[in-house]
Structure 1
Amino acid sequence: MNYFVSENVFTFNSGTEHAQAKRVQLFTEQGESAQYVTRNYNRFLARDAESIGLHAEQVLNMYDFFQGVTDVPREEVSLRLLPQIPLDEYHIEGHGPNYSTINHAGRELARINVMPATVGLVNDIVYYDRYGNTTARENFDWRGFKSSVDYFHPDGNLAVQKMLNLAGETVIEISHMKVNGTLYPTMWKLLNYKGHDWRFNTEDQLFLFFLNEITAEHPGSILVSDRRSLDHVVADVQFAAKKFAVLHDIHTPDIKNPIRGKLYDAYLNVLERRVRDFDAILVPTPEQQADLQKRYPGVDFRVVPDTFVPQAQLAASRLRLPDRQAGNILFMGRLSPEKRPDQAIRALARVVKSVPSATLTFHGYPANAEILNELKALANQLGVTNSVIFGDYITGDALAAAYQRAQVIVQTSVAEGFGMNLVEAMSYGVPVVSYDITYGTRELIHDGVNGYVVANGAHGEMADRIVSILSDDGVWADLSAAAYDKAVTFNGQAMMAAWQQALQ
């Protein structure tokens, strides 16, 4: 079994989670066993995994494993059909679409909060004492069962979390205490596991125990660490046949000096302190491999693809220009300073002078509300408010539709580890205009063939290239055809062969 190890599948995921999910899909498509392994407790994991194209059998969560709920199908539970509430004695009173209360003898005993984006399904039930203080909260999994219970001190601080199996028995208990005035989880108890109780001081210690359990149960298993926050845990696993760590991003903030620049702190474990505990370090591009090999000549660095294009996508009909939204420029990625989305707006302000109908659509979650407000203010300042669309973070069919509408995609990042969004865009025939950055740009974009590479930070030059694409149907058609052809090189068979070689 191939286990790809990370913290979580989130509601809003970064490129790391998407790359990990793509790899699971690749291995599955090519007939290899693989699972996306997560540490964090997440009641919405089934929903979040489905949103990025993963099925239940492709995901393995530590808490689900110990709770015995890894393969439980979803069953919607309406708040008015909860078997634990005897309606002949208690009254459920609705207060709009978001919550109801449980009342008895004229007193409010509890509040039932509705699960987000559902109609009347139970998210949690909060219980109060006679003075209105919160005493407990029952938390329901997206799949419809009670998953955990939180107990609170009279001052409202969390005291104990209890994770339950389907019989309602506690299998994990997490104690919380104040340390120097700040509340922390301080102890994890695994109860009656294989007839014994186990105690851990940190969640990572419990996670290490879990990883040792699953690798011992499946001899010959391979572990791949995807998150730098978990490299030290994977490094300590005893029963894996092989252990690797895959890097998804540039390893230093000093983009002009990747060979000698100061490492990001998160990379110290994997590249220095614990590097000998891994069979090899995997990187997405030969360029990063060469830089790291010069920096650490005694370490085995291997190149693996950070994405692939599914066979179904490669077999789909190629879209023509009339099928698209004229003048649609796409920015796909997180709205954060290192992605420099403001540069895309500045480029658009120049583009609309030549192509007035051009629009710029952002799809990605903002790092914070401030950056979104700043981008909107910039669009207003440059007079392109009506030409900039701030779309939602999207996955699945909505993501595919965005690529199908686009006439060009732009990349303005300070640096990248690879650029899987560009490969995705090219698989829909979307030409790319990108700054010349480290890493991946020159590997993915052949200047003048499937897109254009312009000087880093030169938004004026970027605008000129976008105008040349939007203004000439023949230029667009040639670039689009080459983009489709480039995407074919990321087919599953070729990418699987690269992974198999790297994991030898």
Structure 2
Amino acid sequence: MPVSDLPPGRHLALTWGIAIPYGGMTTAMLDRSRLFADAGTPVDVLTLDDRAFPLPPIPGVGVETSVTIRNLYDWPRTGEVPTGSGLPGAPAPLDPDGDDIVCDEAGGVLLRRLRLGEDGKPVDIDHLRPDGTIALSERRVGARGRVLLARDAAGRPIRAWRRRYDFYADWLDHIVGEDEAFLIVDSKTVAPFAAGYRRRRVTTVHVVHGSHRGPTPGSVRASRQPVFSRLTDFDAVAFATEAQAADVRAIVGPHPFLTSVAHPVAPVDVSALPQESEREDAVVIARLEPIKRVEDAIAAMRRVHGDTRGRTAMRLDVYGTGSQADQLVALAADDDGIRFHGHTDDPASAMATASLLLLTSRSEAFGLVLLEAMAAGCLPIAYDIAYGPAELIRHGENGWLVPDGDVDALADAIRAAAALDPARRAAMRRSARATASAYSDARIRSRWASVLRTARRRRRTRGGLRRLAATARRMTGALRRRLRPSRR
């Protein structure tokens, strides 16, 4: 095990939840956590989703790997919530036989009862322990108010919260205790809460996954605006590319600490890769959602299959699931050279046997799949979008960049790749693997260590300045009171 160069303290990763199968953001978060843990720095992955039912085994996650997943709602279930004061009375349990009651269970264990409103959204919730006792009651109060009440096994109130954010903060305080801690926030859903979570011993870093770009130049998309308006509340904000960090800096100014940390990519055993003559097909690995524009990859391959210019036997294998799955299957129904495989837990194997990777997204924060493909010697053909592809791909050397949204150019790049001399194509694969090697675990972990130390130093400096300013205000107020003329 390598010696960790990460700063000492509790290391926490905060996100909303982990859906199965999970996408790029969760993959990056778990990979970073494993990266830290492999160097001897344990990581707790913290989730706030109240629908977090028991997860299936996740590779590299567990006590034995020092990456542990913990959920907020397990806190009251364990009975570790400290007793508060001024507690309201415990509400009556929700009637399991009520017409408006929905029950959630996992593995035969009932975990929640919910009373739904006319809009189909939860109004009241009872979170249950495995033995059926109520661990936490949530009740609506008035039009928008809410009371959360932790209860012991006998149903007695233990602690109450008027806001979910207060509930979240108390849990984090419980986990951190008196330790120095680093809280890395991956989810944009959780980021507004984390921006307001300020503790003297906790360094907060927000990792921005995905593009921030709005509909007009220099604008920020609506889902990012609540957090981008208060980036100075974080001790650091990390992007996957320096280009995105620079673009955001031009929008928000110089005061937030904006930096970049790329994603690591695992090396691939070159001896296990197939021979050049055995790598013929192209692959798409993406969520089948509009933002990924997989229909463009299908349209380009259909053009390659249907014309007489550079006709090729290259097939396209599509891996992924999503809302557009049926539509995309129908789009390729008359082309036997386009095959759909659904979700894969082993994308590396798919890329290790393919010749090309097609990336047709509307936006990316980095495009980790590009690096994963390069590490496997799978040459990428990508739309030239912000951010990621142009920082990784040198056109004609380790892959191809084509104009954003140009399906004809995408088809031409596929033809060009298929027509390459095998020796030239093998040389490009070596160049692609060399690009990926620059994103090794050791280099990315060292970068994270530097960012966390700088963020901690800024937190301490800013905290000291705030305390000095508060002292100055108190002294100024006292002096003014002393100099104020007395009234007789």
User: What interval of TM-score do these two structures reach, taking the shorter chain for normalisation?
Assistant: 0.7 to 0.9
- Measure, in 1, the Cα distance between the counterparts of 2:378 and 2:427: 11
**Kept after mapping to 2: 8 A contact 1:269/1:275:** no
- Measure, in 1, the Cα distance between the counterparts of 2:79 and 2:286: 33
Deviation at 1:360, TM superposition (A): 1.5
1:161 alignment counterpart: 125
Answer yes or no: is 1:387 the counterpart of 2:337.
Answer: yes
2:325 alignment counterpart: 372
2:223 alignment counterpart: 266
Matched residue of 1:344: which SS?
A: helix
CA offsets per residue over residues 158-195 of structure 1, 9 Å max, x none? 7753333455432212336896xxxx9943222249x9
Give the alignment of 1:168-207 within 5 angstroms.
168-175=132-139, 186-192=146-152, 197-207=158-168
| Aligned with residue 271 of structure 2, among 317, 341, 345 | 317
- Measure, in 2, the Cα distance between the counterparts of 1:502 and 1:300: 13
Answer yes or no: is 1:243 the counterpart of 2:253.
Answer: no
Answer yes or no: is 1:28 the counterpart of 2:34.
Answer: no
Answer yes or no: is 1:7 the counterpart of 2:7.
Answer: no
1:265 alignment partner AA: A
CA offsets per residue over residues 121-164 of structure 1, 9 Å max, x none? xxxxx9769xxx68774724x5x7x3524266999997753333
**Kept after mapping to 2: 8 A contact 1:284/1:304:** yes
Deviation at 1:39, TM superposition (A): 0.4
- Measure, in 1, the Cα distance between the counterparts of 2:382 and 2:264: 20
**Kept after mapping to 2: 8 A contact 1:162/1:172:** yes
| Aligned with residue 229 of structure 1, among 176, 183, 189 | 189
Matched residue of 2:32: which SS?
A: helix
Task: Kindly name which structure, 1 or 2, has the bigger radius of gyration based on alpha carbons.
Answer: 2
CA 1:490–1:318 in structure 2 vs 1: closer, same or farther (change >3 Å)? farther
1:290 alignment counterpart: 246
Structure 1 unaligned spans of 5+: 71-125
- Measure, in 1, the Cα distance between the counterparts of 2:318 and 2:58: 19
- Measure, in 2, the Cα distance between the counterparts of 1:281 and 1:135: 42
**Kept after mapping to 1: 8 A contact 2:262/2:444:** no
| Aligned with residue 424 of structure 1, among 354, 367, 372 | 372
1:34 alignment partner AA: V
1:489 alignment counterpart: 438
**Kept after mapping to 2: 8 A contact 1:212/1:238:** no
**Kept after mapping to 1: 8 A contact 2:214/2:222:** no
CA offsets per residue over residues 83-131 of structure 1, 9 Å max, x none? xxxxxxxxxxxxxxxxxxxxxxxxxxxxxxxxxxxxxxxxxxx9769xx
CA 1:218–1:495 in structure 2 vs 1: closer, same or farther (change >3 Å)? farther
TM-score (norm 1): 0.74
**Kept after mapping to 1: 8 A contact 2:367/2:388:** yes
2:226 alignment partner AA: N
1:486 alignment partner AA: T
Matched residue of 2:205: which SS?
A: strand
**Kept after mapping to 2: 8 A contact 1:318/1:429:** no
Matched residue of 1:20: which SS?
A: helix
2:36 alignment partner AA: F
Between the two proteins, what is the percent identity of the paired residues?
Answer: 21
**Kept after mapping to 2: 8 A contact 1:158/1:176:** no
2:113 alignment partner AA: D
- Measure, in 2, the Cα distance between the counterparts of 1:379 and 1:466: 17
2:384 alignment counterpart: 436
1:475 alignment counterpart: 424
Q: How many residues align?
A: 419
CA 1:356–1:480 in structure 2 vs 1: closer, same or farther (change >3 Å)? same
2:61 alignment counterpart: 54
CA 1:270–1:161 in structure 2 vs 1: closer, same or farther (change >3 Å)? closer
Name the structure with the higher strand share.
Answer: 1
CA 1:339–1:138 in structure 2 vs 1: closer, same or farther (change >3 Å)? closer
Matched residue of 2:223: which SS?
A: helix
Deviation at 1:345, TM superposition (A): 1.1
Matched residue of 2:175: which SS?
A: helix
Deviation at 1:306, TM superposition (A): 4.3
CA offsets per residue over residues 213-258 of structure 1, 9 Å max, x none? 222x251111122112212211222334211111111112347x3x
**Kept after mapping to 2: 8 A contact 1:470/1:476:** no
Structure 2 unaligned spans of 5+: 1-9, 81-94, 454-488
**Kept after mapping to 1: 8 A contact 2:112/2:126:** yes
- Measure, in 1, the Cα distance between the counterparts of 2:164 and 2:439: 37
- Measure, in 1, the Cα distance between the counterparts of 2:47 and 2:253: 32
2:284 alignment counterpart: 331
CA offsets per residue over residues 315-336 of structure 1, 9 Å max, x none? 5635133585x43211111122
- Measure, in 2, the Cα distance between the counterparts of 1:494 and 1:283: 16
- Measure, in 1, the Cα distance between the counterparts of 2:385 and 2:286: 16
| Aligned with residue 412 of structure 2, among 464, 476, 481 | 464
| Aligned with residue 235 of structure 2, among 276, 279, 297 | 279
- Measure, in 2, the Cα distance between the counterparts of 1:275 and 1:423: 29
**Kept after mapping to 2: 8 A contact 1:135/1:154:** no
2:393 alignment counterpart: 445
**Kept after mapping to 1: 8 A contact 2:276/2:422:** no
Deviation at 1:420, TM superposition (A): 0.8
Cα RMSD for the two superposed structures = 3.2
- Measure, in 1, the Cα distance between the counterparts of 2:79 and 2:315: 46
CA 1:3–1:154 in structure 2 vs 1: closer, same or farther (change >3 Å)? closer
- Measure, in 2, the Cα distance between the counterparts of 1:342 and 1:185: 45
- Measure, in 1, the Cα distance between the counterparts of 2:352 and 2:361: 23
TM-score (norm 2): 0.77
**Kept after mapping to 1: 8 A contact 2:276/2:426:** no
Matched residue of 1:410: which SS?
A: strand
1:357 alignment partner AA: A
